Structure 1
Amino acid sequence: MLIDSRLKAVHADSSESNPEQEQLVQQLLTSLGPEGVDDVLDGTCTLIYLFMKWLREAHEAHEKDVVEYVVPTLVTSLKMLPRSVPPEAVPMMAGLAIAAATGLSPTLWRKQYGDWTKAELTPLEATAFLLAEHINRMTDDQDFATRMITEALTQVEEGEREE
């Protein structure tokens, strides 16, 4: 939901940020409490994993390496956001994307470095956003990444109902 909201804001006709939407996101995150925030972090890592899995499969279909073609673009994009992404967070986000590209759980990979720091939260969101935007540009469909995740969630829910 957060990533989809950011994608829609970027593609909106207005170049101004929506303070009402920002306030709603902040209220949501505040209402979650510490356990809920951990769930959001795990969910964001899962999104990164799913986006990188899709990108890996798409690149392998053309005999290309996802790390070679996606990670440098991701790093360059993150470095272009110095107010939101501190330079010291870029290697962590690149490592997270590479872990996901090689089939490793980003959440489990990250655990070896300790808890998330406050300075890494925006870069983590930016990483998920940039990967979703990359997929949307590849498919020439502004809603493809969101639809892909929605369909995956629907399949999981249907599988749970059948059990």
Structure 2
Amino acid sequence: MSSPCDPQYAPAGDVGAALMVIDSRLKAIYGGRTETDPAQQQLIDQFTASLDRRGVQDLLDGACTLIFMFMKWLRAAYEDHDKDVIEYVVPNLVATMSMMPKSVRPEAIPTMAGLVVAAGTDLSPSLWRKQYGDWTEDEMNPLEATAFLLAEHINRLTDDRDFATRLITKALSSAEQD
């Protein structure tokens, strides 16, 4: 019996837009800045301000799809070394988010850990989250931080600052060709 949280039932959302946001954050951090380039931030702000309710939902679903895809890659990488992805990723994620009180409210951390566990067990993060109602405003930064931290984790594992972005870009390209 399949789960109602099976990824086959989940909307992919706007993965490209979600990746744009995460990639700009990665480039800012790798560039030694704590903030995104002002011009890049203005573009992101203009884009998000232009979104209607459906567009916002697509962006949220896209971020969840990124989390799912990142965890799928991490699960395979850890399994290649006989390690459990949940054991190695979730505590690191929770500890890092706990050190980000301006961006991530403490009450959002369990939800983000749940999203990662759902993805790590091959469930759709967006459908898992949907069981508990609509997204809240207080979950927006933590959701972005979760996708960012997973991408950064992948980049550190591969010693390649663009690996996570290329991983998604290649997956999107091959999906368009199919």
Q: TM-score, normalised by structure 2?
A: 0.87
Which residue is equivalent to 1:146?
A: 165
After alignment, is 28-37 or 10-19 more displaced?
A: 10-19
Match of 1:109 among 128, 133, 147: 128
Which residue is equivalent to 1:87?
A: 106
Runs ≥4 in structure 1, deviation > 4 angstroms? 13-17
**Length, aligned pairs only:** 159
Instruction: Say if 2:91 is the partner of 1:72.
Output: yes
Cα RMSD over matched residues? 1.0
Which residue is equivalent to 1:99?
A: 118
User: Deviations 1:117-160 (Å, cap 9, x if unpaired)?
Assistant: 0000000000000000000000000000000000000000000x
CA distance in 2, matches of 1:14, 1:124: 21
Q: TM-score, normalised by structure 1?
A: 0.95
| Identical counterparts, % of pairs | 64
Which residue is equivalent to 1:40?
A: 59
Instruction: Say if 2:150 is the partner of 1:131.
Output: yes
Counterparts in 2 of 1:24 and 1:57: CA distance versus 1, 3 Å:
same
Structure 1 residue runs without a partner (length 5+): none
Deviation at 1:24, TM superposition (A): 1.5
Higher helix share: 1
Matched AA of 1:19: P
Counterparts in 2 of 1:17 and 1:148: CA distance versus 1, 3 Å:
closer
CA distance in 2, matches of 1:90, 1:16: 22
Matched AA of 2:169: T
